Structure 1
Amino acid sequence: MFKKVTRYIVSQMDPDGRLAPVENSGQQDRFRPLCLLTQKRKQNTIFRSDPYYEYTEFKLDSVLLPGKDGKSTESLLPSEDGPDSSQFGLTKVTVDKVKGDLSISVDGASVELKGGGSLSQAFSIKMKKKAIPMDLLESVRKNRKINMDHSFIQQLQRTGADLFLVYEILEASEETVYKEDTKAELSFLAKIFAKFFGEGSTEHIESAVIPKGCTLAFRAIQMKISKGEWELSYFKERPTPVTGISFLEIPTPKLGAVDREVKQYCGIFSELPSGLRVMFLNTITAVMRDRNLFQELSQKMEGVLEKTDGYELKIKSPDLKDLLSTLENSPRDRRLQLAKGITYTLDALAELLDNQLLLLLESLERKIVSQQLQLVGKLLEHELKKVDMPFRVDASLLSFPRKEDQTLTMTLVELSRVKLREDGSAEPMEWPFEVVAALYVALYALNLLSGPK
């Protein structure tokens, strides 16, 4: 739910595409000004053109040699009321079938619905922008060199990973609670939550508390290091398209483009023998239940791709042991192909909400993934980059043996920002293409690994 809020904020507040949402509330302290980040990979996908940032344990001062004045870079941090700090608010209200009046207070702090309408979503958040003055950062760059003997810097040099510095953030100025009204679909979702995690609090999966001072989004600038000197990349580089797919040739990406990409990366799974498919599927579903395990597998796969020879794949976790052992004993080219397929699948799953992962796990047990894949494929045949452009899909794709299967599927799709009705009518909400494409990739991989052997 936190991810849902921060992504919405970025979609509304980002004029130049350099603002990145913090997608896990437990990691917000890792994306403060002067924190150092690495970029997960230069490879872009059709469902994610923005870079993946990974936090490190270091700040800028940690890797710089001492300056002549003995000052720490912490002095660069913006003050609460300094010239590089500003405050503003954002209010989101979604109302279905309004028969009364909707009123929003002048300061944006409260939302009230009068009459016979039904409020499905509402939140109002006050934010503060904090930025490090670039002229001060440039002064530090000229006067302090990088400590090339630092173990972190030496590791960066060996791996060739890109280094980034957080220089601006959006943070919450006051505590905010985001809630969604309880619907039949979400009550059903609560039951699934209880099934997989032993607790069924609808409030838990429908709300997010954002504390005061929480980092919501950030901007990072690349640092390029050479022989102790460092430069800052002030201009955003043009993203590199996925091999074999030119985004310029596809003005409105649809099913064909997504299908080509997913087959490029996940096609290797179809070559696995039955036993290995089951093992791969068990590993993927295990990490879908556990975010820490998810991160661990993702990092291991990045290690395989970055260090193609002699990379240690030993691990203590029993949920990952068999898969990593299989990769370690595979020929180099095949190991790389499998690592790319796993990483691509994990990237798609990372784009989805936690609630969607629960619904996918339930869909696997109900054996309805194949039909869901067909349905989501039909959604991708339509224009999903224009909001409020209704269309229709074949209603038979929403016909399931059990009513709960239909409810589950419609909820899964609606969480991807496309509202579906039983008659096949569909309505895009809030630029859904990327998340629908990610859902298609996730369904494709799960269907391939769980299908007939």
Structure 2
Amino acid sequence: MFAKSTKNLLSEIDPEGSLVPVSRLNDSDSLVPLGLVIKRNRYWFWQKPKYLPSDFNLSDVLVGDPINPVVFETDFMSFDGKVVDNKSGSVGADIGPGSITVGGAGSSKLHSSFGNLKKQEVDVQKLLQDSKVRVLDLQHSLVQQTREKQREVLAVVKERIITTQPCTVTEELQRDGSCTGMFGFNQKIKVSVNDKGKDIADYDTNISLNIPPKTIIAYGVIELEVSKTGHFELCLLGNVQGGFEVDAPVKVKQAVPVGASPGKTRSKLQKDLEEVQGQFKVLSKLPANTRSSLFQHISVLLENRSAISVLENALEVLCDGTQPDFSKLDQASAVRPTLELVQEAAGKGPTQTTPSGPLQQNPKTVLTATHLLISSLEVMNDSTLRVLKSCCTHVTLQAVLHIVQNMASNRKSSLKDDALAVLADKKVFEKITELFGSCKVSLRKEKDLLITEISNPQDRRPLMLCIAVKGLACIAPPT
């Protein structure tokens, strides 16, 4: 609940900015000015980094005297918003000075009121002067452990957004396509489910999450570029990334690109898909019963976005060569059965013959292929996952696969093609159109042709759609 409320706030006030939403209340105490945060870069090139607050600040890992930051505090803004959203996800907004109000029409409602917020900022000019000749203690445990991870970077907290009064996170949900949610002060969490057609129309569950004043709800960081000697520089520009000098470049998990035919110009979408094409081949070569079971588990997970996030995190841990804590995984959510299935498939991969004898298949291959698919689903919103699940039949997925392949190649699809015969069903065509629309791709008919148009070439959502569809189509059993 807390993570959802902070993420929702930043989606309105800082959608493409540098602020990081706080996901856990416990992290608030660690996010002091110049507190150390570990930035963990992800496996795939479209994934946003994770930020992990630590129990240390910059002075704890310095050689010599501590650095005492100078901090300025100002009024940030007041936030009071109401969002009414239908299944298509359309939202209207009305923004005024110092406050934001968002509204629309549909089946879900969201009301957010964070009251008056404060902003604290570190004096970066003074920090530059104080840190100019300082050195990190490379023997400190946190520094050593971060250096060992190629994808991790040290950063310090430079700004914080803070609540000034007690607040409570409140949510209200309703079934049958109607979901209302509220995040606000001095409220209680209320969950209401309405099953139409039953004698008992609804029931309420009241829960309350109280948030104290002076709670950090968002923060910004400055990354550190650390030399072999321990001297460091502050990365002040957004396009300058930190890291350790001894680190090798971060390697994104991807297949070897497939060369295009001479004389043909490939789109960026097609190039990105070619980089992960090998992962789809791994999924398609799994035993039929494994593919079918994996498809069934993932189909269940499409109804639970939070469970998809848990599975994505667990798969990332496995890809790093460590074991997730299975005792914390909910068996009913299909997360644990999916992990066990993938691990079993990875451990029983086929062998390859070499001149020196049989070579066991790299077990990480199956893990990374599954992680690729789940990572694409993890960045989708609830409405996209809902409509994707409605398309999860073999024949419908094959039709969508045909369309996305042509979209990536900048080709139009012919409605006379046998692969698109299912589109003759009006309801199926409407579902597929809604799926593409939720990923910012327009889909329309022109005579016997089906045309796709990506509204923003820089948007990652069409790529996520392609990866999800190609991955699911590889494991969907014939019907």
User: TM-score, normalising length from structure 2?
Assistant: 0.60
Residue 297 (structure 1) aligns with: 315
- If you compute each CA radius of gyration, which structure gives the higher value, 1 or 2? 2
Question: Which AA in structure 1 matches 2:280?
Answer: C
Match of 2:282 among 268, 275, 291: 268
**1:433 aligned partner:** 459
Larger helix percent? 1
Q: Are residues 123 and 134 of structure 1, via their aligned partners in 2, closer, same or farther at CA, if it must alter by over 3 Å?
A: same
- Deviation of 1:216 after TM superposition, in Å, equals 5.3
Deviation for aligned residue 1:134: 2.3
Q: Report the counterpart of residue 155 of structure 1 in structure 2.
A: 145
Tell me what 2:368 maps to. 340
Q: Percent of aligned pairs with the same residue?
A: 15
Task: Give the aligned partner of residue 73 of structure 2.
Answer: 80
CA contact (8 A) 1:279 1:323 kept: no
Amino acid at match of 2:475: L
Q: 2:127 — aligned with what?
A: 137
Q: What stretches of structure 2 of length at least 5 have no aligned partner?
A: 86-92, 180-190, 196-208, 242-249, 330-335, 350-358
Q: What does residue 349 of structure 1 align with?
A: 377
Distance in structure 2 (CA, Å) of the matches to 1:78 and 1:52: 26
- 2:73 counterpart SS class: coil
Q: Which amino acid aligns with 1:368?
A: T
Spell out, residue by residue over 1:195-217, the C-alpha distance to the aligned partner (whole angstroms, 9 max, x if none): xxx98679xxxxxx9x9976457
- Cα root mean square deviation, aligned: 5.6
Q: How far does residue 438 in structure 1 lie from its aligned partner after superposition?
A: 0.6
Confirm or deny: 8 A CA contact 1:369 1:447 kept in the other structure. yes
Matched residues in 2 for 1:23 and 1:419: separation? 34
Question: Cα gap change, 1:53/1:393 in structure 2, threshold over 3 Å: closer, same or farther?
Answer: farther
Q: Cα deviations across residues 303-349 of structure 1 (Å, max 9, x unaligned)?
A: 13xxxxxx557845542223224324556653232233223223322
TM-fit CA distance, 1:103: 8.0
Alignment of 1:44-123 (within 5 A): 45=45, 48=46, 51-61=48-58, 63-65=60-62, 67-68=64-65, 76=69, 78-81=71-74, 109-110=100-101
Whole-angstrom distance in 2 between the partners of 1:65 and 1:39: 21
Q: How many residues matched?
A: 396
| 1:229 to 1:270, Cα distance in 2 relative to 1, 3 A | same
Q: CA deviation at 1:90?
A: 12
State the partner residue of 2:423: 399
Higher strand fraction (1 or 2): 2
- Distance (whole Å) between structure 1 residues aligned to residue 122 and residue 265 of structure 2: 37
Q: Give the corresponding residue for 2:440.
A: 417
CA deviation after TM superposition for structure 1 residue 163, in Å: 1.4
1:131-280 equivalence runs, <5 A: 131-139=121-129, 141=131, 145-168=135-158, 171=161, 188=177, 215=217, 218-224=220-226, 226=228, 228-234=230-236, 236-237=239-240, 244=257, 253-280=267-294
SS in 1 for 2:154: strand
Letter of the 2:317 partner, please give it. Q
Q: Is the 8 A contact 1:4 1:353 kept in 2?
A: no
- Alpha-carbon distance in 1 for matches of 2:130, 2:348: 48
Work out whether residues 118 and 162 of structure 2, in 8 Å CA contact, stay in contact via their aligned partners in 1.
yes
Task: Report which structure shows greater RCO (CA 8 Å, sep ≥6).
Answer: 1
CA distance in 2 between counterparts of 1:105 and 1:314 reads 47
State the TM-score, normalizing by the size of structure 1: 0.63
- Deviation for aligned residue 1:447: 0.9
